[in-house]
Amino acid sequence: MKKGQKLYSIFRFKCPHCHEGAFFESDNPFVFSKLGEVRKSCPVCGRGYHREVGFYYGAMYVSYALAVATFVTVYVAVSVLFPSASAGVLVAAVLGSLVVLGPVLYALSKIIWANLFYSYQGPVTAAPEVKAK
């Protein structure tokens, strides 16, 4: 992965516009006091991260898709690796993985959603009309 690719921004939690500035208030998704708090703007290029009120509500759909993918992956992995596992073990494995990975999935859903609407422009300073107010 290198700058200019959306996966770079997604997996490094970087600005979708310049791929240099931090997207979240905290780089660690397990800091619960700042869980999922998106910065107002990029500290490097100045691009505002909030296009409109409620912009990140759409990330709920991405979060749902990530949770379903996690559910299916864990269910199949446990079923294949432990064929004699009971239903309780399967449920515990799936729920445990969703609880543990919840903050990461939440952060990923927001950065994926932002990357759907912002394109890479490099570390150029944003025009005054797109800077955060």
Domain residue spans in the chain?
6-130
- pLDDT at residue number 15: 92
- Supply the pLDDT for residue 92: 96
4: left (phi over 0), alpha (psi -120 to 50) or beta: left
Cα–Cα distance between 35 and 28 in angstroms, integer?
Answer: 9
pLDDT for the residue numbered 1: 76
Tens digit of pLDDT for each residue in 84-98? 999 999 999 999 999
Provide the pLDDT for residue 131: 54
State how far the Cα of 88 lies from the Cα of 68, in Å rounded to an integer.
19
Please tell me the predicted confidence (pLDDT) of residue 2. 84
- In this predicted structure, what is the pLDDT of residue 25? 92
The pLDDT assigned to 53 comes to 87
- Residues in the chain with pLDDT values less than 50: none
pLDDT at 4: 84
Euclidean distance between CA atoms 61 and 58, whole angstroms: 6
